[in-house]
Structure 1
Amino acid sequence: MVSIDLNADLGEGFGPWTMGDDAAMMDVVTTANIACGGHAGDPEVMFASLRAAAARGIVAGAHPGYADPAGFGRRVIPMSPDEIGRMIVAQVGALQGVAALAGVRLRHVKAHGALANLAAGRAEIAAAVAQAVRALPGDLALLAISGTALESEGRRAGLDVVSEVFADRAYLANGQLVPRSEAGAVLHDPEEVAARILRFVETGRMPVLGGGEVALAGQSVCVHGDSPGAVEMARVLRARLEAAGVEIRPFAGG
């Protein structure tokens, strides 16, 4: 049976401010990428998110990003590769500490927002991210956007690399994501999203904005938890995949 993981970026609030419906999303996805104090997240949000994931039996990992809550980690902060590496280990290490209190084992790391996009195209940034993940305890896997420098540098570093595609983001012909600043970059129709991901699972090819397709690897599909209608999209996507005989299960053991 063909299988796929569904992941979502969660725990992206802090203090009294919340982002998305994490509880509902965790009832649908199989893997949670939890913010760890950079673009979002604080100790209480981290702890609650980890416990919620554990209660549902879904896999938890770290979601580090630029320390830029005002920009939600979607702005590039000028930093050297070494500084980026230290930032990542500090954030993931913090979440690992909270996870120890919550009785949860972290399984992977997924870079967030502008950091992930920068690492996707620049080998020196990708190598810094990969080496930071390798330096951390816990044999953490790297969840990396399919077809990017981060995917290849993660493998070069000897990490267990899980290739990721996006349910609700449009693609360019080179396999990169359409920048959010461009029209059509974010998809909102649950049925359209479900149809394109089902075709991808069957063929390994993703539709490209403007026409055509691009071949990508993909063991995990991301639905952004902060998008309007994200939970409904995730529910429709899971239902359509399961109806087609696709098994929904985490890429890592619980």
Structure 2
Amino acid sequence: MPREVTVALVQMAPELANPEANLRKMGDFIEKICTEQRTDLIVFPELSYTGTELGLKATDLAERVPGHATNYLAKRANEFNTYVVFGMVVKEKVESILYNGVVCLGPEGDVVADYRKVHLLGEERQVYRNGFRFQIIDAEWGRFGLSIGTDLAFPEAARGMTLDGAELVTVSANWEQQYAESWRAHLVSRACENSIFMAAANRVGEEPTMRFMGDSLLVGPSAEVYTVLDQAIEGYAVATIDLDQVRVVREDRQLIQYREPLAYRSIVRKY
């Protein structure tokens, strides 16, 4: 029997610094998607709870996990028996320590994992602290990993999660229009070089200095594109995939089995 999993990618334009409006919108998306078809996993963009260019407001809008946002969406995840991945500003007990994070909520209405973005670029480094480990979730249908935005541009991230057993990696992104050409190149590369599925939800809309490009898509282990969203629109796309394809492609191509780690020592050196 194939291990069929139905994945939904939500391409939304969060309202900047209006978390309540964004929370309602995410809840509505979950209800609409799951009412139309049985769905196993729903992926929202990076910082979908708050928007991106927060500046000093990031401290005020940050929440602990679990907290208000996770409690609200966990009820939706439980109601529709699905996993939900969404982006938010996460804070620790020390109020000033902030992370660009994603939370994975499970079908039982619980927080399964939260992941803090490892690869921070540009102005993000002035607001957030780096995470330092990737997260793998054991779902009843398979194993999947979590990543955020520019993590996608670092092949070590998806490769590390692959070696830890991930068959699918989610990407919650705020990928900008000016880097549009690299988006699909990275996604297709990560999928086929690791023989895994990449489920990438990218936001749309504009903020004071940023313009986002959408183009959310799900790519399979042979670089096949299962579903894609128009670059400009807010909406969602759903695809059903067979996770057994990961094993089939790996047995055919042997790309993971015939790695030569002794030749790769330089990749763990700091530049």
TM-score w.r.t. length of structure 1: 0.44
Greater RCO, 1 or 2 (C-alpha within 8 Å, sep 6+): 1
- Name the one with the larger strand percent: 2
Q: Which has the larger radius of gyration?
A: 2
